[in-house]
Structure 1
Amino acid sequence: FLFLSSKETEWMKVSGNLWEEDFMVIGETYENIPGQSKITFLLQAIRNTAAAEEARQMAAVLLRRLLSSAFEEVYPALSPDDQTSIKTGLLLIIQLETQSSMRKKICDIVAELARNLIDEDGNNQWPEVLKFLFDSVSSQNVGLHFAPGFQKKFHEKVIAALLQTMEDQGNQRVQAHAAAALINFTEDCPKSLLIPYLDNLVKHLHSTMVIKLQELIQKGTKLVLEQVVTSIASVADTAEEKFVPYYDLFMPSLKHIVENAVQKELRLLRGKTIECISLIGLAVGKEKFMQDASDVMQLLLKTQTDFSDLEDDDPQISYMISAWARMCKILGKEFQQYLPVVMGPLMKTASIKPEVALLDTQDMENMSDDDGWEFVNLGDQQSFGIKTAGLEEKATACQMLVCYAKELKEGFVEYTEQVVKLMVPLLKFYFHDDILLMQSSMPLLLECARVRGPEYLTQMWHFMCDALIKAIGTEPDSDVLSEIMHSFAKCIEVMGDGCLNNEHFEELGGILKGKLEEHFKNQELRQVKRQDEDYDEQVEESLQDEVITDCAKGATPRWLTCCLFLTQCPHRPWPDRQWGLCIFDDIVEHCSPSSFKYAEYFLRPMLQSVCDNSPEVRQAAAYGVGVMAQFGGDSYRPFCTEALPLLVRVIQSPDAKTKENVNATENCISAVGKIMKFKPDCVNVEEVLPHWLSWLPLHEDKEEAVHTFNYLCDLIESNNPVILGPNNSNLPRIFGIIADGEIHEAIKHEDPCTKRLANVVRQVQTSGGLWTECISQLNADQQAAIQELLNSA
């Protein structure tokens, strides 16, 4: 049962008759049957309604996890008849199952199987499940789970079905389920897919909201209204500026709810409405929202005034805290005037100290689950308990403090000292992962503090620095460790040269050397385990590169030995070699020309690795060549020339664009562009440019895509004859590249590059014949993408 999640394992521990006969039979038999037979075995156990409920639930949990962790090994090995039988059987069991928690687990199994049966192109290989979902959407017993890519393939049918079901005025619970499913759908739905349905969505949501608001006033029913308000927020959040025309339709009613829904039983509705208003404001922007900003702020301030009277579990608290942060994003510097009102309650919530206890087994058993305690067994006789009430609010409050520091910068300076004193001790707060991950606030707080001069800034850095280094040495969780390292690196960037002394370097070197040595030992163990046919290889734990990079500015022989060992040992596993290259990539990127004094350690391995068998290693090497061209200075010129044919070899290989190779290939394409842009005298640019243009656009690596599009704009804006072609004959091809980049979201609309690309299109738009020729060679999706680009920039 090693592949069970911690929650599922915990469920098994507390599920009552753990050692009941049926339970034991399932566990023992399951371990001794072949992989592909496990599916049918578990399905039979689920069907066996005569068995204990715990045993059936265990079988359901095991089946979902089997499909999640070993689908490719077990499902394709089944015969077509068996596959059909399993799919049909699962849909039948959902309809016959009467126990709600069991039905939920079976729905999870169906969702997992359906997700695996959608291929890479988004084609649904289980059409029966889609029909079943549409037929069942009016049933309150079936939940909708949307697999990745589902929205792109089935948006029209899903939206129509959900809107139709939302209008079932005879069944409140069905309406609420449909509204909840609409929230799930729109949250992950690309903006471009949602926009065509926006009018229809808004019409249905508004009419339903009006009806349900009347029902609230007349009958006190609120379930559907809560979900509808959240649906409106989700649609606005996805539609962004496209929601502006519908703003006046909703805002008066939403303000009315906040103003009047003051009864205790309406706290959740009021909180969700506050969230909705702030999300709509963020979506439509400051210019449109300002007409109501003053009223909304007064409503929030009134609630804030009563904040101390709210109970600890009042759902409005977390909604209020998040809403203030969104208002800060909307109002920008103008929000600073509200900080004296906001910061007191926010700091109070962020400073919540959890209640903990060490209890013997009998005391633990006497405590009710309703008390909100969670326990960890420390042995046969003792348990460590923590009361979780307030921890989510504490985490949200810490996130909001980060938001204020980021948005207000020097306007937040008055609060930096108290926030730093709160945040630094949280490096040792082990009770909540999201709170541990709040360390991104450290560099932001330093940036806020700059305005008070170098002495104040240095004092704050000294308060942080030792605690951060200690946390790097002691933090056991790899995700949290990465965040702390990233924060530490950003702090060093803010503080600049000289912020670390020799003792810091020595301590960091020792810590990271120890982590590398531990990693090498673990790698040896993993190499042994890889020989086991049942071993499911996971990506080895990762160190954040930024800290290593910044420490490399004071590199010691210990550092170089480690890096050299990683990059120059071809027998080592690919993650190790990728690791070493990433270290040197960052040395080049951050240390600029001065990095060349370490070139003897990495240049030859980096060039050799461009054509490595591992795509991850190729990607790291290609990225290194790109930063070498961009940041490396004159000493790197000969190596850029030497790298070019190696990069081209990778790009032109037959399998260059396969799923596993595409990221490495796109980094090679980007590196070629960077060589031409930053080291043009190293290559024959006129000869290479046509090839480079034929390789565009980049779809997967969004960061490198921006580099290539910016260089493309440079070339077009300078009227480069090779890029434009004779009589601008290449422009239709360029339009196709821009359109495909928009379709694949290869650039974000907030990036300045978007405006440059839109200006290129607008320039052509002014010459009628050329515009017609360019547009006529695009398909319908590409034409729509060009229009979307023009609308957004």
Structure 2
Amino acid sequence: MAAAAAEQQQFYLLLGNLLSPDNVVRKQAEETYENIPGQSKITFLLQAIRNTTAAEEARQMAAVLLRRLLSSAFDEVYPALPSDVQTAIKSELLMIIQMETQSSMRKKVCDIAAELARNLIDEDGNNQWPEGLKFLFDSVTCNAVGQMATDFAPGFQKKFHEKVIAALLQTMEDQGNQRVQAHAAAALINFTEDCPKSLLIPYLDNLVKHLHSIMVLKLQELIQKGTKLVLEQVVTSIASVADTAEEKFVPYYDLFMPSLKHIVENAVQKELRLLRGKTIECISLIGLAVGKEKFMQDASDVMQLLLKTQTDFNDMEDDDPQISYMISAWARMCKILGKEFQQYLPVVMGPLMKTASIKPEVALLDTQDMENMSDDDGWEFVNLGDQQSFGIKTAGLEEKSTACQMLVCYAKELKEGFVEYTEQVVKLMVPLLKFYFHDDILQLLNTKHCARVRGPEYLTQMWHFMCDALIKAIGTEPDSDVLSEIMHSFAKCIEVMGDGCLNNEHFEELGGILKAKLEEHFKNQELRQVKRQDEDYDEQVEESLQDEDDNDVYILTKVSDILHSIFSSYKEKVLPWFEQLLPLIVNLICPHRPWPDRQWGLCIFDDVIEHCSPASFKYAEYFLRPMLQYVCDNSPEVRQAAAYGLGVMAQYGGDNYRPFCTEALPLLVRVIQSADSKTKENVNATENCISAVGKIMKFKPDCVNVEEVLPHWLSWLPLHEDKEEAVQTFNYLCDLIESNHPIVLGPNNTNLPKIFSIIAEGEMHEAIKHEDPCAKRLANVVRQVQTSGGLWTECIAQLSPEQQAAIQELLNSA
């Protein structure tokens, strides 16, 4: 007993040392703590939390450590504990929550219980700690319920909706405790945000009544006592319910709107800024939910209220919480009002540009100084080696990012109406490439109406302003998420701008960067293989290597995107430039490489064939054999890329490709006819093979026996999954029908019912877009048969009711 007490005493000393400002003492304590076995750690930590005579800091530290242990190392520690120890931990936690008198400590222990409960819900949403969850509901530790609603959505909502909604509404009515009411409202927000609409609708009436009566009550309290905490949360709860319920919220609109407008009009004191901001958000979300027709009765009033706030905008302090709510509300109003919003642009653009222009504070500090700056100051740091850290103050960055996204929202919604602002917005955003990208710049450039209104020179000038910055960012951006966004947007920009948008210097710099990216890709793969041979290698290491691998492959897909946009814009002119990358792309499709390498290497060669034919044939020695071989690869992704390549080879390749079309046909047929060709993972590859067979018959008919292959090909139609290839096959089918091909129509048109069912299935699976010319061609085929009485009756009689309806739908719309 004495030994255990002494050990616990040692542990308190250790907790104290973990909080020590002395680096050496703290590091030593961390090492000691890490070496304590899992079960002992949990025992010591629980005892420290339970011991109300221990120092406050030590108890708080123990609670933080226990939660961290359960969140980061749960799978290693908890399942290995004997079941009686597991049971003891659960009951101990619930007991501490009941006994704890100090609220901040109780919240920390609730967080531990929630963390444990979260880990004890399996992937199917089954709860392995029912009494814990029941306790959390009964005592409604709303933080825990709210957290679980977010972490386990939508499974948590599906399983516990009845219990949670009832418990939270009951708790929100607890007039004796403001804070508990506010927590319950916050948990309700978490719950409804991720709740499927169909689950929420049955409770809507009850929810709305509760929320309305609480809002009325809290409005009176605000006027009489100045208390606002619960009202802030209730307003956000209303917004969240409306956002999920959408048009089902229309009947309740008039119940809330007058009070919400009243708050915006009257809550003008400094301490009510957050309430006012949240109410502005709530009004705009309700407007979006119920739609323009219902909202129009108040739209003008609401706009005037917002404009009034707007005129005071310059007097607002930078940290005024209303700013970000205002900015988002404007964008929602723009979505609701559409073109009618344009009249307000001159008023809203000033503040929006001001917010988007916030310059973040940055600093280069030595590590010692960095440690002295607390997290509360809103700084984030990146280590630049042993002694230095780069810091950025994140306060204001959120608003800046929101403002940039809202500018793009206006550009998209208002199109021509936004043109006069495009230039200043682009000039503001290009220097921001370093911080966020979000496709925003592309969206601004992509508003092709700019070119229509201002002329192509204007667009070219804007592009030149951006192009250098984009290429530099691709070469230097260290964060792979940001990098992939930039590469994606750069590729899209080239597609928009087309041939001539890159000059020789651009090509030279870009070539060097892409070459470096591919070389790095191979080097990283080798390094990962080395790590797999290491003595420390285990499942956890493998998991992080897999993450690295996924990141690398994602960047490879973006290299492919950029090359795709360059080939589609520049065609064969770009081949001499491409030759510097050729050996690396050939390396991607070597048989020993992982399947994503082979898939993306083939995709790049597919683009070479499609866009550079027949000049592509001079590289055929590098890709033709692998392409034919990979049609039958084990990986469906590789098969799909190879099959697509053989299809474009037939479609765009010159005469040199003829013998290879003949050779490809039996390989494609083998894939299509294999037993599992239509399973979920195989269907896309199979449909690309079917499409490729169609392209060989259509574009290289003398390379195959069309009469023999056609009946088979018809039996494989229609394509459901790959919409682009579906259109190709339907166009070929129309060619055959329009030329009265005897094999397709059959003797005395006996194949027509089969053709009708193919067309109907295509319509049902949305494989034909109504605006596509192909839809009109198919509708005409049907109309021709319609005029011939008996044949029409025969065709329709053989279709199911759904297929008949689909044929009618096609006729109505095309």
When normalised by structure 1's length, the TM-score is 0.71
Question: Is the CA contact 2:267–2:276 (under 8 Å) kept in the aligned structure 1?
Answer: yes
Q: Specify the SS of the correspondent of 2:534.
A: coil
Question: Is the CA contact 2:15–2:58 (under 8 Å) kept in the aligned structure 1?
Answer: no
Deviation at 1:356? 4.0
Question: Structure 1 residues 588, 408: CA separation in 2 closer, same or farther (over 3 Å shift)?
Answer: farther
Deviation at 1:170? 2.6
Aligned to 1:372: 378
Q: Specify the SS of the correspondent of 2:768.
A: coil
Deviation at 1:277? 1.0
Deviation at 1:182? 1.0
Q: Which moved more, 1:54-63 or 1:534-543?
A: 534-543
Aligned equivalents of 1:465 and 1:756: distance in 2? 42
Question: Structure 1 residues 575, 286: CA separation in 2 closer, same or farther (over 3 Å shift)?
Answer: same
Question: Structure 1 residues 386, 528: CA separation in 2 closer, same or farther (over 3 Å shift)?
Answer: closer
Per-residue Cα deviation, 1:250-273 (whole angstroms, up to 9, x for no partner)? 212111111111111111011001
Question: Structure 1 residues 413, 436: CA separation in 2 closer, same or farther (over 3 Å shift)?
Answer: closer
Aligned equivalents of 2:233 and 2:75: distance in 1? 38
Per-residue Cα deviation, 1:582-637 (whole angstroms, up to 9, x for no partner)? 54566678889998886765565456556655677677668878999999999999
Per-residue Cα deviation, 1:619-658 (whole angstroms, up to 9, x for no partner)? 7668878999999999999999999998999999999999
Question: Structure 1 residues 424, 141: CA separation in 2 closer, same or farther (over 3 Å shift)?
Answer: closer
Deviation at 1:450? 4.3
Question: Is the CA contact 2:114–2:144 (under 8 Å) kept in the aligned structure 1?
Answer: no
Question: Structure 1 residues 226, 676: CA separation in 2 closer, same or farther (over 3 Å shift)?
Answer: farther
Matched, 1:205 2:208: no
Deviation at 1:520? 1.5
Question: Structure 1 residues 411, 93: CA separation in 2 closer, same or farther (over 3 Å shift)?
Answer: same
Q: Which moved more, 1:579-588 or 1:421-430?
A: 579-588
Question: Is the CA contact 1:122–1:153 (under 8 Å) kept in the aligned structure 2?
Answer: yes
Aligned to 1:478: 480
Deviation at 1:171? 2.1
Per-residue Cα deviation, 1:351-397 (whole angstroms, up to 9, x for no partner)? 11233455678987887877655566778987665444432222221
Q: Specify the SS of the correspondent of 1:544.
A: helix
Per-residue Cα deviation, 1:683-726 (whole angstroms, up to 9, x for no partner)? 99999999999999999999999999999999999999999999
Question: Is the CA contact 2:422–2:444 (under 8 Å) kept in the aligned structure 1?
Answer: no
Question: Is the CA contact 1:22–1:55 (under 8 Å) kept in the aligned structure 2?
Answer: no
Question: Structure 1 residues 454, 744: CA separation in 2 closer, same or farther (over 3 Å shift)?
Answer: closer
Aligned to 2:513: 511
Deviation at 1:83? 4.7
Aligned equivalents of 2:168 and 2:809: distance in 1? 26
Question: Structure 1 residues 85, 287: CA separation in 2 closer, same or farther (over 3 Å shift)?
Answer: same
Question: Is the CA contact 1:478–1:541 (under 8 Å) kept in the aligned structure 2?
Answer: no
Question: Structure 1 residues 786, 386: CA separation in 2 closer, same or farther (over 3 Å shift)?
Answer: farther
Question: Is the CA contact 1:8–1:61 (under 8 Å) kept in the aligned structure 2?
Answer: no
Question: Is the CA contact 1:625–1:640 (under 8 Å) kept in the aligned structure 2?
Answer: yes
Aligned equivalents of 2:793 and 2:122: distance in 1? 37
Aligned to 2:58: 55
Aligned equivalents of 1:635 and 1:174: distance in 2? 77
Q: Specify the SS of the correspondent of 2:174.
A: coil
Per-residue Cα deviation, 1:520-571 (whole angstroms, up to 9, x for no partner)? 212111112224475577999999999xxxxxxxxxxxxx32222112x333
Question: Structure 1 residues 768, 70: CA separation in 2 closer, same or farther (over 3 Å shift)?
Answer: farther
Q: Which moved more, 1:6-15 or 1:195-204?
A: 6-15
Aligned to 1:453: 455
How many residues of Structure 1 are paired with residues of Structure 2 in the alignment? 766
Question: Structure 1 residues 708, 126: CA separation in 2 closer, same or farther (over 3 Å shift)?
Answer: farther
Per-residue Cα deviation, 1:123-146 (whole angstroms, up to 9, x for no partner)? 334333332332121677875xx4
Question: Is the CA contact 2:644–2:692 (under 8 Å) kept in the aligned structure 1?
Answer: yes
Question: Structure 1 residues 43, 423: CA separation in 2 closer, same or farther (over 3 Å shift)?
Answer: same
Question: Structure 1 residues 576, 66: CA separation in 2 closer, same or farther (over 3 Å shift)?
Answer: farther
Aligned equivalents of 1:167 and 1:774: distance in 2? 65
Per-residue Cα deviation, 1:476-517 (whole angstroms, up to 9, x for no partner)? 111111111111111111111221233322321210111121
Aligned equivalents of 1:266 and 1:628: distance in 2? 67
Q: Which moved more, 1:423-432 or 1:273-282?
A: 423-432
Question: Is the CA contact 1:450–1:457 (under 8 Å) kept in the aligned structure 2?
Answer: no
Deviation at 1:418? 0.9
Question: Structure 1 residues 314, 132: CA separation in 2 closer, same or farther (over 3 Å shift)?
Answer: same
Question: Structure 1 residues 460, 519: CA separation in 2 closer, same or farther (over 3 Å shift)?
Answer: same
Matched, 1:728 2:749: yes
Question: Is the CA contact 1:36–1:74 (under 8 Å) kept in the aligned structure 2?
Answer: yes
Deviation at 1:415? 1.0
Match of 1:742 among 763, 783, 805: 763
Question: Structure 1 residues 385, 671: CA separation in 2 closer, same or farther (over 3 Å shift)?
Answer: same
Q: Which moved more, 1:159-168 or 1:570-579?
A: 570-579
Aligned equivalents of 1:516 and 1:781: distance in 2? 50
Question: Is the CA contact 1:107–1:142 (under 8 Å) kept in the aligned structure 2?
Answer: no
Deviation at 1:666? 11
Aligned equivalents of 2:318 and 2:325: distance in 1? 13
Aligned to 1:496: 498
Runs of 5+ in structure 2 lacking a partner?
A: 26-30, 147-151, 549-581
Question: Structure 1 residues 332, 757: CA separation in 2 closer, same or farther (over 3 Å shift)?
Answer: farther
Deviation at 1:233? 1.1
Aligned equivalents of 2:528 and 2:229: distance in 1? 52
Aligned equivalents of 1:357 and 1:364: distance in 2? 10
Deviation at 1:41? 7.7
Question: Structure 1 residues 207, 32: CA separation in 2 closer, same or farther (over 3 Å shift)?
Answer: same
Aligned equivalents of 2:778 and 2:261: distance in 1? 40
Q: Which moved more, 1:240-249 or 1:351-360?
A: 351-360
Question: Structure 1 residues 613, 135: CA separation in 2 closer, same or farther (over 3 Å shift)?
Answer: farther
Question: Is the CA contact 1:440–1:484 (under 8 Å) kept in the aligned structure 2?
Answer: no
Q: Specify the SS of the correspondent of 2:392.
A: strand
Question: Is the CA contact 1:439–1:487 (under 8 Å) kept in the aligned structure 2?
Answer: no
- Largest Rg, 1 or 2: 2
Question: Structure 1 residues 737, 199: CA separation in 2 closer, same or farther (over 3 Å shift)?
Answer: farther
Deviation at 1:228? 1.1
Match of 1:412 among 414, 418, 421: 418
Q: CA RMSD in A?
A: 7.8
Per-residue Cα deviation, 1:22-71 (whole angstroms, up to 9, x for no partner)? 9999xx46655778987778767766778776676666666656655665
Question: Is the CA contact 1:117–1:124 (under 8 Å) kept in the aligned structure 2?
Answer: yes
Aligned equivalents of 1:296 and 1:723: distance in 2? 63
Question: Is the CA contact 2:436–2:482 (under 8 Å) kept in the aligned structure 1?
Answer: no
Deviation at 1:741? 16
Aligned equivalents of 1:729 and 1:300: distance in 2? 68
Q: Which moved more, 1:314-323 or 1:46-55?
A: 46-55
Q: Specify the SS of the correspondent of 1:140.
A: helix
Per-residue Cα deviation, 1:264-321 (whole angstroms, up to 9, x for no partner)? 1111011001111111111222222222111111111111111001111111011001
Aligned to 1:553: none
Question: Structure 1 residues 305, 481: CA separation in 2 closer, same or farther (over 3 Å shift)?
Answer: same
Q: Specify the SS of the correspondent of 2:542.
A: coil
Matched, 1:324 2:345: no
Per-residue Cα deviation, 1:109-165 (whole angstroms, up to 9, x for no partner)? 54455445444444334333332332121677875xx45521222222222222222
Q: Which moved more, 1:38-47 or 1:396-405?
A: 38-47
Q: Specify the SS of the correspondent of 2:363.
A: strand
Aligned equivalents of 1:727 and 1:531: distance in 2? 69
Aligned identity (percent) is 90
Question: Is the CA contact 2:442–2:493 (under 8 Å) kept in the aligned structure 1?
Answer: no
Runs of 5+ in structure 1 lacking a partner?
A: 442-446, 547-559
Deviation at 1:184? 0.6
Q: Which moved more, 1:49-58 or 1:169-178?
A: 49-58
Question: Structure 1 residues 313, 205: CA separation in 2 closer, same or farther (over 3 Å shift)?
Answer: same
Q: Which moved more, 1:764-773 or 1:694-703?
A: 764-773
Match of 2:657 among 600, 612, 636: 636
Question: Structure 1 residues 193, 734: CA separation in 2 closer, same or farther (over 3 Å shift)?
Answer: farther
Question: Structure 1 residues 486, 679: CA separation in 2 closer, same or farther (over 3 Å shift)?
Answer: farther
Question: Is the CA contact 1:411–1:448 (under 8 Å) kept in the aligned structure 2?
Answer: no
Q: Which moved more, 1:76-85 or 1:259-268?
A: 76-85
Question: Structure 1 residues 506, 703: CA separation in 2 closer, same or farther (over 3 Å shift)?
Answer: same
Q: Which moved more, 1:498-507 or 1:481-490?
A: 498-507
Deviation at 1:676? 13
Q: Specify the SS of the correspondent of 2:334.
A: helix
Aligned to 1:564: 586
